[in-house]
Amino acid sequence: MNASDPPPEAGMSAPNAPEPKSGPPVPVSAPPATLPPPKAAGSKPEPKANAPVTEAKAAAPASDAKAARPRLALRNKIIFGLSIIGVLAGLVAAYLFGLERKAQPPAFTPVSSPYATAIYANGIIESDQSSGENVNTYAEVSGPVTQVLVHEGQRVVAGAPLLAIDDSVAKATTAQLRLQSEAALALWNELKAEPRKETLAIARSQVVLADSNLKVARDQYDKDRASDNIDPKSISRDVLDTARDAVSQAAAGLDVARKQFDLTSAGAWSYDIDNQEKQYEALKQAYEAANALLAKYSVRAQADGVVLALNATVGSYVSPQGVLDSYTQLFDPLVVMGAPQDYLAVRCYVDEILVSRLPSAWHIRAQMSVRGTDTKVPLEFVRVQPYVSPKIELSNERQEQVDLRVLPVIFRFQKQDAPVYPGQLVDVFIGQQ
């Protein structure tokens, strides 16, 4: 086959074609390029060369990597610095917390029993009285307080005014009843003073007048009768009858005047006097009751003592229930009073379980410890209140039991300069001599 001959078509082999001999390669012309299909109208032309775009894409990651290297190095430095600071802080904290600190000395010596064996009890300081506790004073009437006449801590005597309550209505009512009782008394005295001499004189004059009328009527009747006896025709029968009737009427009038005189002379009827006396007594007692009620508007001390607490002020509304506490929403007494505080009492509450271990009255002794101080005061036994009651006086301790009953035991001590006041909780140890 010559080089000038056309090559055979692709995919077709010449029959019985001899194999090519070895020798220099013969150049073969490339097949004609296939033309691309025609593009639709409006389509964008493809870029002619893709090589510049590929080189740009390859260059962009390389520049980003170069820019991220300084930021990564700075972040590593910050993390490393924070780690060092954390390690140093941990070492300092471990050192500080590992230091041994000396315990602070107690502000006061903890309470302890002064006896080998003793009964512990909570105690409440109160006034030293022969019976009862503090004196709670309530108002017996209702109304706003107009005056407070004492102050807390002041010594007062029995009957001294403590508070004044508005009594304007009570004053008017009392004055009205007083006037009514005085009017009843005046009428009673008037009945007892009868007959009045002027009234008696009038009644006597009426008797005289009636007697004169009877005499006139009788004289006229005598004249008419005498004329009739002389000459029956000189006077009519009607005139004679009228004259006789006039005499009868005059006689009856005289009898009435005499009886009225007797009634006036007798004075008031005893039953009327007694009735008026009862009315006067009733009005008098009503006035006295109103006057006594008026005195209740001034609250007074019932005994000698010291004012411990004033729970009312000017303008507070009080009632027999007391005065309303704005914090607890309960009613409190107006005034709490106690005995003079030269001596104070301690009311201890012994657990019912420990009552059997309580020493006898002849061998009992006790000591009081004031909480928060080193003050210890010996106590003098006074009495045992022989009535076990539920425990209601609480000390607010965490382990305090409230579902039990207690026996009150009362001691006393001389106050002197002891820093204690009524109502204060103390610790009491009861021992045996």
Indicate which CATH number applies to the domain containing 308: 2.40.50.100
In a domain, residue 84? The reply is: no
- My answer on whether 307 and 284 are in the same domain is no
Highest mean pLDDT, choosing among 102-106, 281-285, 370-374 = 281-285
Q: Provide the residue count of the chain.
A: 433
Residue 397 is predicted with a pLDDT of 56
**All residues at 6 or more sequence positions from 185 whose CB lies less than 8 Å from its CB, including other chains:** 280, 284
Q: Which of 45-49, 163-167, 202-206 has the least mean pLDDT? A: 45-49
In a domain, residue 9? The reply is: no
Residue 148 is predicted with a pLDDT of 94
- My answer on whether 360 and 329 are in the same domain is no
Between CA 9 and CA 22 the distance in angstroms is 23
Residue 395 is predicted with a pLDDT of 57
CA 291 distance to own-chain centroid: 31
Q: Which domain holds residue 271?
A: 172-291
In a domain, residue 394? The reply is: yes
Residues 396-423 as b/e (b if ≥16 CB within 10 A, e otherwise) read eeeeeeeeeebbbbbbbbebeeeebebe
Flag whether the pTM goes above 0.85: no
In the listed set 291, 315, 349, which residue is the last one of a domain according to the structure? 291
Q: How many domains does the chain have?
A: 3
- My answer on whether 232 and 378 are in the same domain is no
Q: Which of 245-259, 300-314, 389-403 has the least mean pLDDT? A: 389-403
For residue 366, the domain's CATH number is: 2.40.30.170
Concatenate the DSSP letters of all residues of 70-133 into one string. HHHHHHHHHHHHHHHHHHHHHHHHHHHHHS--PPPPPSSPPP--SSSS-EEEEEEEEE--SSSS
- My answer on whether 274 and 192 are in the same domain is yes
In the listed set 231, 257, 291, which residue is the last one of a domain according to the structure? 291
Residue 55 is predicted with a pLDDT of 52
In the listed set 338, 366, 400, which residue is the last one of a domain according to the structure? 338
Between CA 227 and CA 276 the distance in angstroms is 59
Whether 160 and 150 have beta carbons less than 8 Å apart is answered as yes
Ramachandran area for residue 322 (φ above 0: left; ψ -120 to 50: alpha; else beta):
left
In a domain, residue 19? The reply is: no
Structure tokens at 242: 């009228």
Q: Write down the mean pLDDT value for the chain.
A: 82
Indicate the pLDDT class of residue 398, thresholds 50, 70 and 90.
Answer: low
Indicate the pLDDT class of residue 402, thresholds 50, 70 and 90.
Answer: low
- My answer on whether 320 and 272 are in the same domain is no
Whether 151 and 307 have beta carbons less than 8 Å apart is answered as yes
- My answer on whether 252 and 349 are in the same domain is no
In a domain, residue 34? The reply is: no
